[in-house]
Amino acid sequence: MFSTEQQQAIFQALPDPVFILTRSGRYADILGGSDSRYYHDGSMLIGQKIEDVLIPEKADWFMLQIERALASRQLLVVEYGLAGSDVKGLGNDGPDTVIWFEGRIQALDFTIDGEDAVVWVASNISARHELEAQLRHKSEIDELTGLHNRRSLMVQLRNQFSLFQRYQTQTAILLFDLDFLKTINDSCGHLMGDRVLRLIADCCRKHLREQDFSARYGGDEFVILMPQTSVEQAEHLAQRLRLAIVSAMGSQPLHSRNNPNDAIKERGISGGLSQFSAGDASFEDVIGRADRLLYMAKQQGRNRICV
Ligand SMILES: Nc1nc2c(ncn2[C@@H]2O[C@H](COP(=O)(O)OP(=O)(O)OP(=O)(O)O)[C@@H](O)[C@H]2O)c(=O)[nH]1
């Protein structure tokens, strides 16, 4: 139906680039890629090998995908990022952000110069990738404090509990609640209440270790999950955090709106500290224990951690 020239023109008009790659990683041909918003002219790659173009770590990954597609003979769909620093010899000329692609790879049923080969269609999905990252962030992070939200805490607790069941690694959990937030809200305004909640989050980020997982459990309740931590170590960390929060709150102008001389004196947190234990059926058991200990801390006069 189409002449050879017309077929060639149709291939070149394809918006996404189509790479014909041999088993040894040679660019046998490149078609399409006409959407110049996303793709540069790649014709200079023809005849070159992936290992000549990309740094070893990336080149190995590309070669592995070619092998997978050739072995399965099925359509293989992969996602990958390419940064300017992944391309050999680009220097500072490449893009400064990672560009994300979806690769659709299919083995060809003929050989090219005696080699097996695949067709690899690369689509720029950076915009979608960015949107997905934003949505993931929104679904996992508490908007007010920037800590993990309850939903991502639950996922983390479930994973850590599975690890505990398999390896019995000590894992401590602190559940704490800001004392008298209602009084702060009523006396100093809701915005000041919000400010104190953010202050607590800052203290968590500053005073806990990188492996500790801090989350806003809801309202003025927070949970700190401390993997590979004994209760003794966790108690030390919890007390350090409590003192840091008391000290940070001390620097806040927590004065009554009606009477500026009337400062709110009660500043602190009450917490319950527990750990996964052999008899627990699920992570909910340890949260339940920490909750009862938190209640005890409130009963005993607040601004303390019960273990
Ligand atoms: N400012 C602010 N207040 C909140 C937020 N979420 C919940 N609160 C308020 O926090 C208060 C929590 O109340 P409680 O924990 O029961 O009581 P409390 O005043 O902190 O007193 P104790 O916990 O008994 O020491 C409620 O008045 C909620 O309305 C928030 O995001 N911002």
Mean pLDDT across the stretch 54-61? 97
Q: Compute, in angstroms, the gap from residue 255 CA to the centroid of ligand 1.
A: 17
- Pick from 219, 263, 247, 231: which is nearest to 303 by CA? 247
Average pLDDT, the chain: 93
Closest atom of ligand 1 relative to the 177 alpha carbon: 23
Q: Compute, in angstroms, the gap from residue 12 CA to the centroid of ligand 1.
A: 63
Closest atom of ligand 1 relative to the 266 alpha carbon: 25
Q: Is the pLDDT of residue 16 over 70?
A: yes
Q: Compute, in angstroms, the gap from residue 200 CA to the centroid of ligand 1.
A: 14
Any atom of ligand 1 within 6 Å of the Cβ of 68: no
**Backbone CA torsion sign across 242, 246, 252, 254:** positive
Q: Is the ipTM of this complex over 0.95?
A: yes
Q: Is the pLDDT of residue 89 over 70?
A: yes
Any atom of ligand 1 within 6 Å of the Cβ of 186: no
Residue ranges of the chain assigned to CATH 3.30.450.20: 4-133
pLDDT at 173: 97
pLDDT band at 262; cut points 50, 70, 90: low
Any atom of ligand 1 within 6 Å of the Cβ of 126: no
Residue ranges of the chain assigned to CATH 3.30.70.270: 141-306
Q: What is the pLDDT of residues 179-224, one digit of tens each?
A: 999 988 988 889 999 999 999 999 999 999 999 999 999 999 999 9
Q: Compute, in angstroms, the gap from residue 189 CA to the centroid of ligand 1.
A: 12
Q: Is the pLDDT of residue 90 over 80?
A: no
Q: Compute, in angstroms, the gap from residue 65 CA to the centroid of ligand 1.
A: 53
**Nearest alpha carbon, ligand 1 atom 23:** 179
Q: Compute, in angstroms, the gap from residue 238 CA to the centroid of ligand 1.
A: 21
User: Candidates 192, 199, 220: which one to mutate for ligand 1, based on the most atoms within 8 Å of Cβ?
Assistant: 220
User: Candidates 144, 176, 185: which one to mutate for ligand 1, based on the most atoms within 8 Å of Cβ?
Assistant: 185
pLDDT at 47: 96
Any atom of ligand 1 within 6 Å of the Cβ of 144: yes
Q: What is the pLDDT of residues 112-169, one digit of tens each?
A: 999 999 999 999 999 999 999 999 999 999 999 999 999 999 999 999 999 999 999 9
Strand partners, 118: 21, 107
Any atom of ligand 1 within 6 Å of the Cβ of 188: no
pLDDT at 93: 65
Any atom of ligand 1 within 6 Å of the Cβ of 53: no
Q: What is the pLDDT of residues 227-244, one digit of tens each?
A: 999 999 999 999 999 999
Closest atom of ligand 1 relative to the 190 alpha carbon: 1
Consecutive H or E run containing 22: strand 17-22
Identity of the residue numbered 193: G
**Nearest alpha carbon, ligand 1 atom 25:** 179
pLDDT at 91: 63
How far are the Cα atoms of 176, 179, 226, 260, 294 from residue 284, in angstroms, in the given order?
16, 24, 16, 43, 15
Burial track 85-99 (b if 16+ CB lie within 10 A, e otherwise): ebbeeeeeeeeeeeb
Query: Going by C-beta distance under 8 Å and a sequence separation of 6 or more, which residues neighbour residue 146?
Result: 198, 201
Q: Give the rounded percent of residues in the chain with a pLDDT score beyond 90.
A: 85
CA separation for the pair 184, 206 (Å, rounded): 24
Any atom of ligand 1 within 6 Å of the Cβ of 127: no
How far are the Cα atoms of 125, 199, 210, 290, 299 from residue 98, in angstroms, in the given order?
11, 34, 25, 43, 53
4-133, which class in CATH? alpha beta
Burial track 190-225 (b if 16+ CB lie within 10 A, e otherwise): eebbebbbebbbebbeebbeeebbbbbbeebbbbbb
Any atom of ligand 1 within 6 Å of the Cβ of 16: no
141-306, which class in CATH? alpha beta
Any atom of ligand 1 within 6 Å of the Cβ of 116: no
pLDDT at 2: 95
